[in-house]
Homo-oligomer: A and B are copies of this chain.
Amino acid sequence: MAAMARAATTSDAFNAIAEPRRREILVLLRGGERPVTELAHDLGMSQPQASKHLRVLREVGLVRVRGAGKQRLYGLDARGLRPVHEWLGGFERFWSGSFDRLDEYVQDLKQARREEPPDGDDR
């Protein structure tokens, strides 16, 4: 009942991919399923570290595990990234156009200035 710190990293995909290491893992997994140790090695991180990140990714549903003998094969499940991608898509027009909102803004300015006679501009 006091102050929360930060949203749990495990809460959603947005938080999960905020961690660079986790992003690397996801990218690697695009190449197919991999056992933990291999991931850890390829990414130059310790096994426990890999396991922990994989846990987070699993908890937000971005990866799936499958036991294969002694190994555990982690595989990508990118469906959870879709909403994130879509959310960002909502901003597409703001960067694809000219200069973010700038020109639009300038339009408004001209418009406004046309409606009330020249006054003082910005300070």
A contacts, CB < 8 Å to B? 6-7, 9, 14-15, 17-20, 23, 26-27, 30, 32-33, 66-69, 75-79, 81-82, 84-85, 87-92, 94-95, 100-101, 105, 108, 122-123
Contacts and interface: CB of A to CB of B under 8 A. Distances in A.
A68 B100 contact: no
B9 A6 contact: yes
A77 B92 CA distance: 11
Please tell me how many copies of the chain the complex holds. Answer: 2
The 3 closest A-B pairs by CB, nearest first: A78-B94, A18-B18, A85-B88
Contacts of A69: 123
Given A76-B100, A79-B95, A95-B78, A87 B23 contact: yes
